[in-house]
Amino acid sequence: MSTPSPHGGHEPEVEGMSAQTDLATSAIAYLLAGPAGFGLVGFGLDRWWGTVAMLPIGVVVGMVASMYVIWLRYGRS
């Protein structure tokens, strides 16, 4: 089956391409949101406690947590 192209012709559909794109988009979103969210919490704790160590710790914990969530959702059989 083909879909209409904006240029007037037809482009063939690639089977399973949208599922792969959704998977990649979700994985990238997790990899960005985890460190950003935990880094924001670490930044808030640094401001509250007057330290400088919680931001980098939050970013690392967020990256590890996001990779773990990706493994749980997409890596296991």
pTM over 0.75: no
User: How much is the pLDDT for 14?
Assistant: 56
Distance CA(67)–CA(69), nearest Å, equals: 5
Average pLDDT estimate for 58-73: 96
Average pLDDT over the chain reads 86
Q: CB of 46 within 8 A of CB of 52? A: yes
3-state secondary structure 8-49: CCEEECCCCHHHHHHHHHHHHHHHHHHHHHHHHHHHHHHHHH
Distance CA(57)–CA(40), nearest Å, equals: 11
Cβ atoms within 10 Å, residue 38: 22
User: How much is the pLDDT for 23?
Assistant: 87
